[in-house]
Chains A and B, each alone.
Chain A
Amino acid sequence: MQVAAANRRTRSVFAVGVVLGLIAAAAAPSPAQSRTESREVPSDGGTYRRPLGNDPGTLDPARIGDIYGRSVAQQIFDGLVQFDHTLAIVPALAKFWKASRDGLTWTFTLKPGLKFHHGREVTADDVVYSLTRLLDPRVKSSAADVFSVVRGAAEFRAGRARQVSGFTALDRHTVQIVLSESLGPFVPVLAIGHAKIVPRDVAEAAGDAFGTRPVGTGPFRFVRWDRGKEIVLAANPDYFDGPPRLGRIVYRIFPGEQLDAMYEEFQRGRLDDTPLPNRDYRRIIADPRHVHLKRPTISLRFYGFNTRRKPFDDPRVRQAVNHAIDRSAIIDDAFLGRYALARGILPPGTLGFNPRVNGYAYDPQRSRDLLARAGYPGGRGLPSIAIWSSVKHEGIVREHELMARQLEAVGIEAEFHYLTEWPAFFKRLLDGEFPMFVLAWFADVPDPDNFLSKLFHSESPRNFTRYTNPAVDRLLNGARSDRQVEKRVELYRRAEQMILDDAAILPVWHYTYERLFQPYVRSVEVSGLGDPYIPLRKVWLAPAR
């Protein structure tokens, strides 16, 4: 049977070899990691102080929709399986698993002796509860559609069944999941951040408050959350994979991603890592006193248009904005060339990334022509455009100065608004209140579906632009269900081109993960999924601190 498994993996590896190669390249050992030397003795305990760009919306893993909550929750909770630093799937709470030959029945056996932070043993019933919760319409988890292939999911979500028939606790430590249709290998779905195992008794008793008093199995347990100030976690000495080396983690919150303030605190020795500000960037990265870690991530930063609201219900206006903005100049001027220009939607390293996509060139005359054709010659009759941001720092303010100038050159007047309270911004974004907005999008699985279906399928709860194109929906549905990788790639590429042609967004860049670490920080592993997925249980502080 091991031979069968090996053969199966060989075929899989062949099918996605290119993607894995790119991911592996992105997951090479980090400078902070390479500083681990054999003569050093790992230091037990100590407090690790990290900046967090905003207050999370929630710490309930099923409901998280932002990287702030994900960063924290990844340390508190475990799933059945997890991604390692090369983005391969490895066991977490599950000791092993097996699938029926038709790929429909999956059986997971839990590791023995697992305990939640409140001391109770983890059982198969908790697993069934946690996964069922993702499908509960009252929870409003954005992962619900990912688990729609589980048998009985539709009946449960429609209120026709009290349980999901595809989830069964076979005994105290064994869970069976039955799918209604094969979804390729099902296991990576269970590695996503939503599919964490929560204690049934605590989650049921807490209700919505579970998101502010989370209890999991992870290497760190929740201590407190002072909104706008800090979130504190403490080491879980009973962690199944061995206790973490750090004693505590303190996430200090800098609402509105105040990069300059973060760096100042880092310089004063009050933070152990920090993102880099633009100010003095070149001097800072040349400073040998800190470890500078840099690598590509699977992400997209873009401006979205509300395609249901005037004037952005007209694709020609959206195209005009795309042609009006000189994104390369913005990246170079406001961000010192630190990010990779996004010509399309899919980031390099994602299955289906198309290097031939060119997107919209900076072409003010073409922009003016499009505006005229839309009925706004020289911008006449076009109302001032409100552009919303949840972030305000020197770089983005400079970016907006440049954008305002470039838009004005084609006859578009723009006004910029900053709402740096992230939960409030996110709610208004979901409610469709912003005509145009800036947003970052970070993959949790390096699959094109993460970007194209989530952001642009008409039925996606994360379709922030309200973009609707039945032809794109058909392509995305086909790509999801097709089992041939080559066919999926072709369908996703066609969908990406159609979305770009319709100019649902203005793609700007793919993030380069870039961070400074204090010189005593050791064993930092950063995968292509970026900062939220760093396993802090491995990090330790050298005695020289």
Chain B
Amino acid sequence: MVKLLAALLVVGSFLFVAPIIESSSGSTEFFQAIGTADAGGGG
């Protein structure tokens, strides 16, 4: 039981502090970010 609790504690602390991998080679599909846009002559 003690070993199980210790294991859960380790896993829990790992989840709490571990960084999130945002992407490796896949894509991130989200567009909340703002951009700049470009002007053109309007022809």
Residues of chain A touching chain B, judged by Cβ–Cβ distance below 8 Å, are: 1-2, 4-5, 8-9, 12-13, 15-16, 19-20, 53-54, 64-68, 70, 84, 87-91, 95-101, 105-107, 142-143, 146, 183-189, 192-194, 256-257, 259, 301-302, 351, 389-391, 393, 395-396, 422, 425-426, 429, 438-447, 449-451, 453-454, 462, 480, 483, 485, 488, 532
Contacts and interface: CB of A to CB of B under 8 A. Distances in A.
Grouping DSSP codes into helix (H, G, I), strand (E, B) and loop, the B interface class, with mixed when no group exceeds half, is: loop
Nearest to A101: B20
Given A146-B34, A186-B33, A449-B34, 13 more contacts: A15-B30, A16-B31, A19-B31, A84-B27, A106-B22, A184-B33, A187-B33, A188-B32, A188-B33, A351-B31, A440-B42, A442-B40, A450-B34
Contact of A98 (B17, B21, B43): B21
A54 B43 CA distance: 11
Given A89-B27, A439-B42, A185 B36 contact: no
B4 to A, nearest CB: 22
B9 to A, nearest CB: 18
Interface residues of B, number: 28
Given A259-B43, A389-B41, A442-B40, A99 B20 contact: yes
B37 interface: yes
A447 B33 contact: yes
Nearest to A188: B33
Contact of B22 (A19, A187, A454): A187
Nearest to A480: B34
Contacts of A446: 31
B39 to A, nearest CB: 5
7 shortest interchain CB distances as A-B pairs: A445-B35, A184-B32, A257-B43, A391-B43, A188-B33, A88-B27, A440-B40
B39 A54 contact: no
Interface in B1-43: 16-43
Contacts of A480: 34
13 contacts: A5-B23, A12-B28, A64-B38, A66-B38, A90-B25, A98-B21, A188-B33, A301-B42, A391-B41, A391-B42, A422-B41, A447-B35, A450-B34
Nearest to A143: B36
B25 A96 contact: yes
A278 to B, nearest CB: 11
Contacts of B28: 9, 12, 88-89, 185, 187-188
Given A2-B21, A185-B22, A187-B23, A462 B37 contact: yes
A66 B40 contact: yes
A387 to B, nearest CB: 12
B19 to A, nearest CB: 5
Interface of B: 16-43
A291 to B, nearest CB: 22
B20 A194 contact: no
Given A89-B28, A445-B31, A194 B19 contact: no
Given A1-B21, A393-B43, A70 B38 contact: yes
Nearest to B15: A4
A284 B40 CA distance: 25
A488 B31 contact: no
A426 B32 CA distance: 29
Nearest to B19: A98
Could you say which of A396, A445, A453 has the most chain B C-beta atoms within 10 Å of its C-beta? A445
B30 A184 contact: yes
A445 B40 contact: no
A443 B37 contact: yes
Contact of A445 (B19, B33, B39): B33
Contacts of A462: 37, 39
Contacts of A440: 39-43
A189 B32 CA distance: 9
Contacts of A192: 35-36
B40 A5 contact: no
Contacts of A426: 39
Given A12-B28, A98-B19, A99-B19, A450 B42 contact: no
